[in-house]
Structure 1
Amino acid sequence: MNERAMNLTGALRRGSVKKNVAAIHVSGKLTLLQRKLSNVLLLNAYDNLMTRPSHRIDARTLCMMIGYNSNDMETLKQALRSLAETLAEWDMLDEKGKQEWGVSALLSYARLRGGVCEYAYSPALAEKLHDPKVFALINLNIQKRFSSGHALALYENCYRFVRTGSTGWWSIDLFRRLMGVDGSAYYENYKHLNAKIIKPAVAEVNSNSNIIVTPETRKEGRAVVEIRFRIKENPQLAMFDIDDQEGVRKSPTYARLVELGASDRLARQWIAEHGEGYVGQKLDYVSAQKGVESPVRYLSVALKDDFTPEPAPVTVSPEMRAAVQLLVQDRAEADDRAEAQRRARDADRRWRATRIDRVREIAESRNPTQRDADRRMFLSRLEDELGRSDFVRHGWASALNAREIMAFWEDMVPGIFEDVDDRQG
């Protein structure tokens, strides 16, 4: 049995987090990892935001939910540090209808001790995060599908408008801020912004989430000054939207889950994610077990790890042969999907290698004084000792610092990767 999966309790088993409109608007500069971390921490704390001054979560469980190596505490420390250094700003009406502006760090503090992550929000920010009138529901199962921080930022900022069908018009300056590129001179050029940020983010949102977004722009003369996104539900991924499935409550599987002790939301989430047939099978399995102290927790692990009873000896019938053939077909399809994922990873590695080759080409073309200055300037930006050591050993070929290296050279030489990316695409 997966021990860490058994540790997912309380709000963590909800599978979705209500994300405050103000928090979404100010988190654009977060990386993909930091954005996912922020959502999981809020999900873990949500039920007790107004009653507890601090919140706790097992560090390895936290790593697992975000989707990276559970032993990589240094990366977790860096991500937590970034959240504590990032400001949340809101400008909205209070409960009396008066305009209220405020600013706060996303986390007031965080610490790791004894394998546990403890953290807190400022009282003012906790109040805003808990306000039900300004929430958009962010589903963590969808969050896991994103590989780009810009795409996840676009999804979070668009999803709360799904009922109205449009974000409304945003100035290009505000949109750059939401995407976290407002400090880059390169992205002041709309052509670069569209090619490197908007188009890739839209494509990822449309292929990986429960909404489809379409950008529209307004111009003054030849300059694009405003942008909005038309939004509609993605029928192919609507299964992730667990808040619109009232009919599920009438199903026998839902009734069995509630009788077992599952909450309304958890029951609907499991049925949406796994299907009634699969959930029903695991219910049968759990019901047949003796001495189970927490049936709901046991069922959670059975669903995740696909617990099945030991098969009894049977005579192979034509129906059984057909079932086996279907299983073989399913396995073949799974292998095909795995192969497609492998090819995608290989393509990503080739893309990174090509970009690093371009960096080395540009770096080596500079004179010795410039090369030395470049290295010193980059080293001064690295706070992680492990990253600094790896750069000292491997220079611009440092795989550990690949993301930082590419960002550094994009700032140094705007458009450095434009023709490389065009060839790769």
Structure 2
Amino acid sequence: MDDIPRDDLSGPLRRGAVKKHVAAIHVSGKLTLLQRKLSNVLLLNAYDTLTSASRHRIDARTLCLMIGYNSNDMDTLKASLRGLAETVAEWDMLDARGEQEWGVSSLLSYAKLKGGVCEYAYSPALAEKLHDPKVFALINLNIQRRFTSGHALALYENCYRFVRTGSTGWWSLDLFRRLMGVADSPYYEVYKHLNAKIIKPAVAEVNKTSNIVVTPEVKKLGRQVTEIRFRIAENPQLSILDLDDGEGLRKSDVYARLRALGVSDRLARQWMTEHGENHVRAKIDFVAGQGGVKNPVGYLTAALRNDYSPGAPPEGGFAAKPPSGGGQGFAAKPVSPRGRRLARIQALAQARKPTQRDADRSLFMARLSGTLRDDFERHGWMSGLNAEAIEAFWTELSPGAFDDLDED
């Protein structure tokens, strides 16, 4: 699946990474890949109000698309939600006073689908643990979407929270089998089978797919393997995937120029994600070439929104002084038909709910390949190579959205 865009997301969904407490990671029962992804997205959606709201809601179609299955397949969604409600989370930890605390709870206390909306809840005890910032792992949703194996994602979740220490520490094989969801299978009681079918494939996918590299090590009692741990190092080749805090974008010269103009951190990253660095750079050059612009951020906003091109005069109100030899201000450049369509597409996208915006992008991206996909990844809804397909896509979502423009 495609990366989740960070464009103008609000509230918890802007975060892009879930703070998963150890209690949410150490679960009993066998979770499928879809159920693991579903659990992370539901937690992200609910995170900011975990302890203050008893119920949480998300658009069911959007949820399906974010997880990566057919948005019309409600039976699969029902089965996945049922699996989370039947799965037990267990924690065993020291509380604030240093006393040992053990607890158990289902991952979801309930879930229901009604009117195209998924409503769900966590038990109060589990919600408190999930929201505890002292012990957590950052589960990057952009990375989790790349996994094709539930065992690999489970290994990633259980290793990544130890990335700063460089090792998971020793786990008994019984605990490891439980973390991988295969504790109830006699077949995997034999280490040779566990290693061949679970450990080696999961390690290979984590190292290929994620932003860490894991290396298993084992302890033996005689010839029998009794414990396992994983050495953890950052994966320099895939570290760019870890975009939770926007560091990849912040290293760009375009980002530095935007910030120098007074553009906020969030807006700078949003523009770079939506339009692509080259397009934003061109508009910055365009604004810089106008001279005497009193409000460069405002004018740059208009230039991006209306696709101003070199040679266009500044829009009235942004210029600091009129042209020499006359007292009249510049006239605004008439917006081209393409500019009007781009503005309408942006308006349609911004009118969607945050999770819907992500699902829209993912749904459209799934239709593309090769050069067309690359161009959309760089420029988003402003992709020139995909202009006709983008308009058709938004017409499908919002019939008649461009009818008034055709009448101009």
Is the 1:253–1:279 Cα contact (8 Å) retained in structure 2? no
Question: What is the deviation of 1:332?
Answer: 10
* Structure 1 residue aligned with 2:192: 191
CA distance, structure 1, for counterparts of residue 84 and residue 203 of structure 2: 25
Distance 1:240 1:18, change over 3 A: same
Distance 1:304 1:278 in 2: 19
Q: Distance in 2 between matches of 1:92 and 1:270?
A: 43
Cα pair 1:253 1:280 within 8 Å, conserved: no
Could you say if the C-alpha distance between residues 63 and 95 of structure 1 is closer, same or farther in structure 2, counting changes exceeding 3 Å?
A: same
Residues 1:286 and 2:288 aligned together: no
2:280·2:304 contact (CA, 8 Å) conserved in 1?
Answer: no
Using a 3 Å threshold, how does the CA distance of structure 1 residues 210 and 246 change in structure 2: closer, same or farther?
Answer: closer
CA offsets 1:276-304 (integer angstroms, 9 cap, x no match):
44665797533646788979947996994
Alpha-carbon distance in 1 for matches of 2:229, 2:274? 31
The CA deviation at 1:80 is 0.5
1:133 paired residue number: 134
Q: Which has the higher contact order (CA 8 A, sep 6+)?
A: 2
1:107 is aligned to: 108
Q: Which AA in structure 1 matches 2:27?
A: V
Is contact 1:262–1:296 with CA below 8 Å preserved after alignment?
Answer: no
Structure 1 letter corresponding to 2:42: L
CA deviation map 1:9-54 (0-9, x unaligned): 5322332211111210115621101000000000000011111110
Give runs of aligned pairs for residues 8-407 of structure 1, distance below 5 A. Answer: 9-26=10-27, 29-243=30-244, 249=250, 252-253=254-255, 256=258, 264=266, 276-277=277-278, 285-286=304-305, 288=307, 297=350, 304=361, 331=371
Cα distance change of structure 1 residues 111 and 238 upon mapping to structure 2, 3 Å threshold: same
Contact preservation (8 Å) 2:146, 2:209: yes
Q: Among the aligned pairs, what percent are the same residue?
A: 69
Retained in 2: the 8 A contact 1:89–1:102? yes
Q: Equivalents in 1 of 2:140, 2:244: separation in Å?
A: 10
Counterpart of 2:237 in 1: which secondary structure? helix
- What is the alpha-carbon distance in structure 1 between the residues aligned to residue 139 and residue 200 of structure 2? 22
With over 3 angstroms needed to count, the CA separation of the structure-2 counterparts of 1:115 and 1:95, relative to structure 1, is same
Aligned in 2, Cα 1:267/1:145: closer, same or farther, shift over 3 Å? farther
TM-score (norm. length: structure 2): 0.66
Question: How far does residue 220 in structure 1 lie from its aligned partner after superposition?
Answer: 0.7
Q: Mark the CA change 1:27 to 1:205 in structure 2 (over 3 Å): closer, same or farther.
A: farther
Which whole-Å CA distance do the structure 2 matches of 1:256 and 1:40 have between them? 31
CA contact (8 A) 2:20 2:139 kept: yes
CA offset digits 1:256-280 (Å, max 9, x no partner): 489999775x866986999744665
8 A Cα contact 1:242 1:272, kept in partner:
no
**2 CA distance for matches of 1:177 and 1:226?**
13
TM-score (norm 1): 0.63
Is the CA contact 1:260–1:296 (under 8 Å) kept in the aligned structure 2?
no
Q: Note the C-alpha offset of 1:115.
A: 0.2
Name the CA shift for 1:165/1:273 in 2 (closer, same or farther; >3 Å): farther
Whether contact under 8 Å (1:33, 1:66) holds in the other structure is yes
- The alignment partner of 1:236 has SS state of coil
The verdict on how the C-alpha distance between 1:159 and 1:254 changes in structure 2, with shifts beyond 3 A counting, is farther
Output the amino acid matched with 1:42: L
Q: Which structure has the highest helix share of the two?
A: 1
Unmatched runs of 5 consecutive residues or more in structure 2? 284-300, 308-338, 365-369, 375-408
